[in-house]
Structure 1
Amino acid sequence: MGTALWPESHVGALIDYTAPYQANDYTNVSKADLKFVKITQQALKPNVTSSTDSCEIDAFRNKNSKWNVLMPRDLKSGA
C-alpha cells in the first residue's frame, strides 16, 4: 500500500502472503494459478492497555500505511 492512508474504519489483522512463480516477468503470471502461503500475521499487540493503540493496524496507519515484511530465510525461491 503506502500511497493512500488506511481508513480508520478498516480494522483487523495484517497478514502477508507470498507465492512462488517460474516466470521472469511476474506481470504475465496467472494470479489464479498461484499457490499462496501465509508468511506473517499481526493483530493485537502484546501487553496493551486501553490507553494505548491495541492493534498492529494502528501502527500501520500511524506509519503512513506502510508495512515492512521480513521474508523467511528458509523460503524456497520461486524463480
Structure 2
Amino acid sequence: MEERWNEAVEAVVYELARHNGESPLDRGAALRRRVTELAGDLGLACAFDQLAAERRWHREERGEESESRVRARMYRAAFTATLMAA
C-alpha cells in the first residue's frame, strides 16, 4: 500500500515539475521525498504548496488539488486491483 502511495505522489509531483520546465531524471522520487518531508504535521496539500514555493513554480493548481489527484490515483489503483483479484 505504501509503495502505491509513493508511486501516486511521485506521479503527481513529476507532472508538476514537467509543467514547470523541469525534467527529473528519477521520475519524481527525490521530489516525492521532499513533499513527504514537508508534509510532517501540516499535511500533503500544504507540502505541495511549500514545494512549489521553494522551487518557484508557477502554480496551475493549489496543494489541495494536487492532493486530490494523488488520492484519485490511489482509488483507481485499488479499484483495478480489486477487479483483477475477483
| Higher normalized contact order (CA 8 Å, seq sep 6+, divided by chain length) | 1
Larger radius of gyration: 1
TM-score, length-normalised on structure 1? 0.27
TM-score, length-normalised on structure 2? 0.26
Q: Higher strand fraction: Structure 1 or Structure 2?
A: 1
Q: Higher helix fraction: Structure 1 or Structure 2?
A: 2
